[in-house]
A and B are shown apart, each in its own frame.
Chain A
Amino acid sequence: MTAINRFFAGNTGPVLTVIAAIIAIWYVGAVFMNAPFQRDIFKRADTQYTTAQLITETMRQERPVLPAPHQVAVEIWKTTAQKNITSKRSLVFHSWVTLSSTLLGFLMGTVLGIAIAVGIVHSRTLDKSLMPWIITSQTIPILAVAPMIIVVLAAIGVKGLVPKAIISTYLSFFPVAVGMVKGLRSPDVMHLDLMRTWSASPAQTYWKLRWPSSLPFLFASMKVAVAISLVGAIVGELPTGAIAGLGARMLNGSYYGQTILIWSALIAAAFLAAILVALIGVIGKIVTARMGAPAQ
């Protein structure tokens, strides 16, 4: 009893409960969505069938409307553990292609976001002139911009990783810029006044006060940025007929109606995003702990 209590006191119990609920709903959904097609098959073959047979068969279709969880799991297992990771059929290979442009785009986006924030915080002119454009940039649908970026860059000879990374950058600089503007402005008036009483230079005020104050904001916005970078990389693969990457995998799946393939790529993307966000979270915790924040 106490073991069960302890199990549910931590994160494990609640998380597993939610996962179990999602899988259950998913199975029910799979049965209902695949049933009409399955009935059709039975009817055409003139087969008599029981409800149990119908349910079993809905989870065994080759191109289901909604694949059952175990079908996706088997597909993921086949394309990860049972394939050489350099193979074009390996999900690990495709994930790596997407991950590499995600990370490059995220890195560029973070640097760009910080640079913009520093500019905005230190210059009134930039504050007035830049912010509206930054917000406008995010109102343009990325699906409309992505092909143009890829095509324009290809025309000047930039291909492969970089164009996709630039789409990630385009998406990820925004949360970092907004978060860092807030973070760099977060120091207490008293702390800023203290720096003035010591006639500190702007650079000193920046490095000794503004930058350390902004770090919690930086990590919070980096979590958003890394997830959105992944979305950017996938979107960058979609309209361009990319041959590798999770986006290419999804596109392939949709060409050939291979829903199981699409779903396994989706799950891989979600898993990748979760790992990236968690990683940023851990780094953020380590940094704030080293900065002497009280233990949570």
Chain B
Amino acid sequence: MLEAWGGYGAKIEASMTEAAAVSSPVITASDLSLTFQTNDGPVHALADIDLAIQPGEFVSLIGPSGCGKTTLLRVIADLEQPTKGALTVNGVSAHDARMARAYGYVFQAAALFPWRTIAKNVSLPLEVMSYSAKDRAERVARTLDLVDLTGFEKKYPWQLSGGMQQRASIARALAFDPDLLLMDEPFGALDEIVRDHLNEQLLKLWARTKKTIVFVTHSIPEAVFLSTRIIVMSPRPGRIHDVIDCNLPSDRTLDIRETPEFLKLAHRVRDGLRAGHSYEDQDEGSDLR
């Protein structure tokens, strides 16, 4: 299995160098804004977002509730339409990228289909995309191995723990091998021990597959531990407050969270969150996705 993945990784790496040669970003956003019309008047979910994400990056979007980080991810996924500005994914519009199945999406909840076994859940996007049965079986086995769920193919979601379910949903997002992974607080509903474990696993998975990952979180340690770049967002209107480069060693383990470099980065993220947030301690009410 690992050999298979070695070959697969090499293939990805090859395409990566190609991409790096032309160095076209996976995602570009310029002057992107999204205003929801609600009964209480317009809500400025996103305002003037400028962003470029390069291939192979691990970018975290962090911010308080209502800062539009999830909305931004959904706009990239073409699940929401921006009201202003331009956005490209893989050089085409978000809609065309979605039609071309450019990305895998992971939600906060595992959102597995309860009537399907784990293997059938992972194979669902492949069925939708009309992969052959043989190809499907192969990819299901490969991705389940990648998230360490080999042996659980025939189990139903309710028979698995929350962490295992979330791993299965990551496997599902990876099954059709998209180069881009969009993750919306994937570990937000899990307890801290499981979360730490999955963070390490995700880091290894990213190192092995060299995918581009856009990761929404509101956990500072998670963002600093995982990312190559952290985008700190502030609410109302949702906009980018700060962009922080993280260049922690690629072979890092959770222990790195005790080091001065890590703490310094975490401190800067926290400062950014506080600065972006300070003026509205009074109205913590409405919560925007």
Contacts and interface: CB of A to CB of B under 8 A. Distances in A.
Interface of A is mostly: helix
B111 A199 contact: no
Interface string B93-137: 000001101011101010101111100000011011100000000
Contacts of B117: 292
Sorting the interface of chain B by its residue count into under 10, 10 to 19, 20 to 34 or 35 or more gives: 20 to 34
A195 interface: yes
Query: Which residue, of B113, B117, B125, B127, has the highest number of chain A Cβ atoms within 10 A?
Result: B113
Contact of A188 (B98, B111, B115, B125): B111
B223 interface: no
B171 to A, nearest CB: 13
A29 interface: no
Interface in A251-296: 291-294
A191 B111 contact: yes
A294 B128 contact: no
Interface in A177-233: 188, 190-191, 193-200, 204, 208-209, 212
A291 B98 contact: no
Contacts of A208: 113, 124, 127-128
A212 B101 contact: no
B156 interface: yes
B235 to A, nearest CB: 22
Given A195-B128, A196-B79, A292 B114 contact: yes
Contacts of A195: 128
Contacts of B45: none
19 contacts: A188-B111, A190-B111, A194-B111, A196-B79, A197-B79, A197-B98, A197-B105, A198-B101, A198-B125, A198-B176, A199-B98, A199-B99, A199-B101, A208-B113, A208-B128, A292-B116, A292-B117, A292-B156, A294-B156
Please name the 6 residue pairs, one residue from A and one from B, whose CB atoms are nearest each other, closest first.
Answer: A291-B115, A292-B156, A190-B111, A197-B105, A200-B128, A198-B128
Interface of A: 188, 190-191, 193-200, 204, 208-209, 212, 291-294
